[in-house]
Structure 1
Amino acid sequence: MISTQAWADAQRLWDFQQMGHAPRPCSVAIGLGSHDLGVADTTADLYHRGMMPLIVFSGATSRTTRHRMPRGEAEHYRERAIDLGVPADAILVEPRARNTGENIRYSRALLEKHQTFVSSVLLICKPYEERRAYATARKLWSDVEWVCASSSMALPDYVDSIGDPRLVIDMLVGAQQRLMIYPRLGFMIEQEVPDVVKSAYERLRDNGFTSRLVPET
């Protein structure tokens, strides 16, 4: 049973971890692989709205996806987008990345290999990973403009779509931890974290929502 306080804290993290960008036309979109096929759905929708001429889906597998996406996250995303009407020749697949940093580095290398000029990137991910992905991308590829996008869903609706409330809260906590510790490790740019967000994170962490935390050194 998840307490009312835990849900309130999860909502606080959910709100903070979204960037609030308005999607606009960009040179390319990069869809970050994960357990959530909604990323592919959002990417397909933005493609049909004319927001980008080319898509890179990036992602191998993880402990969360190796059974549900055995061909790799990027490949399952590609198949989903094609089912939703995106032309196959508008999609590039980057199948090796296992974290957000690799998503950005490997996607950049793939675009360079295809001699694609990039001045702006529509970065598409899960709703609670917008800020983390943005901070990582700004650190690793600083000379392009980044615009974040994700499924437009309220937290309860997102939880229903995933079907595992504890997993979603664990993911929120893990994303928040990385936002706070990765800048000093050189993995992403520094961003100010309000005290109310830090407190919400600490309460959730102390109440056992820890399965997606990384060791702190």
Structure 2
Amino acid sequence: MIPVEVREDVETLWVFHDLQHVPRPVDVGIGLGGHDLGVAVYTAELYHAGLFPQIVFTGANAPTTVDAFPQGEALGYRDRAIAEGVPAEVVLVEPAATNTSENLEYSRKLLAENEVEPSSVLLVSHPYQQRRAFATAQMVWPDIEVLCVSRPMSLDAYVRTIGDADRVIDMLVGETQRLTLYAELGFISHEEDVPADVLGAFDRLVAAGYTSRLVEDRRPIDV
């Protein structure tokens, strides 16, 4: 459970990172790798709903995912999507990306190699990753229409699926930092300022010790 003393600030970050894009038909669905198999499950749901005919799962491994996906995040996601009834032949796997920019760059290259030139894509990400994934796509892939969604659920429901409230809070804090830092470094587009209430919530959560996912050396790494 989210500790009561920080709950309001955590909710502020949770709501901020939700872009509230409404899924609609596109050319390709791209599942962004990570620790949460919910991305693969929701990508499969959207495929079955007829929102796209082609899927790319992208991601290598990180220290936080290697135990769960010893063959890589993308392969683990593919296997789960197939278990959810997605035909294997509609899934492409990009197993090398280690950050969100690479997720998109390598997915674009993989699609081109398979003679797929989309004009629109739907990114499926973790709930806390939506804003940065969208901003990264605007920088890396500016010539197509991009939407970014995650599996709809409440903060409490998501914490239950992950099983670790501190981890979720740390990730929300880390993503908030990256929005500002990566925009300053030119890694992502940044067309809007982070609101004052979000910055205040971020500062208080950092002061409370939720710092394990902060970037310290200004490299473009993901949480």
For residue 212 of structure 2, what is the amino acid of its counterpart?
S
For residue 122 of structure 1, what is the amino acid of its counterpart?
L
Q: Determine the structure 1 residue equivalent to 2:185.
A: 185
| SS across alignment from 1:5 | coil
Q: Determine the structure 2 residue equivalent to 1:148.
A: 148
Q: Determine the structure 2 residue equivalent to 1:201.
A: 202
Q: CA deviation at 1:166?
A: 0.3
For residue 203 of structure 2, what is the amino acid of its counterpart?
E
Q: 1:1-217 maps to which residues of 2 (within 5 A)?
A: 3-190=3-190, 191-215=192-216
Cα deviation, 1:68-118, whole Å, max 9, x if unaligned, reads 110100000000000000000010000001111110111011011111021
CA distance in 2, matches of 1:133, 1:122: 11
CA distance in 1, matches of 2:136, 2:205: 24
Q: 1:211 to 1:52 in 2, by over 3 A?
A: same
CA distance in 2, matches of 1:2, 1:110: 40
Cα deviation, 1:7-49, whole Å, max 9, x if unaligned, reads 2111100100011000000010110000000000000000000
Q: In percent, how many aligned pairs have the same letter?
A: 52
- Give structure 2 stretches of 5+ with no counterpart: 219-223
Q: CA deviation at 1:192?
A: 1.9
CA distance in 1, matches of 2:43, 2:2: 32
CA distance in 1, matches of 2:17, 2:84: 28
Deviates more, 1:169-178 or 1:4-13: 4-13
TM-score normalised by length of structure 1: 0.97
For residue 31 of structure 2, what is the amino acid of its counterpart?
G
Taking only aligned residues, the RMSD between alpha carbons, in angstroms, comes to 1.1
Q: CA deviation at 1:5?
A: 3.3
Cα deviation, 1:46-81, whole Å, max 9, x if unaligned, reads 000000000000000101001111010000000000
Q: CA deviation at 1:133?
A: 0.4
CA distance in 2, matches of 1:6, 1:144: 39
Deviates more, 1:84-93 or 1:109-118: 109-118
CA distance in 1, matches of 2:20, 2:41: 19
TM-score normalised by length of structure 2: 0.95
| SS across alignment from 1:171 | helix
Aligned length: 217
For residue 15 of structure 1, what is the amino acid of its counterpart?
V
CA distance in 1, matches of 2:147, 2:101: 17
For residue 171 of structure 2, what is the amino acid of its counterpart?
M
For residue 210 of structure 1, what is the amino acid of its counterpart?
T
- Give structure 1 stretches of 5+ with no counterpart: none
Q: 1:160 to 1:2 in 2, by over 3 A?
A: closer
Q: Determine the structure 1 residue equivalent to 2:221.
A: none
| SS across alignment from 2:29 | strand
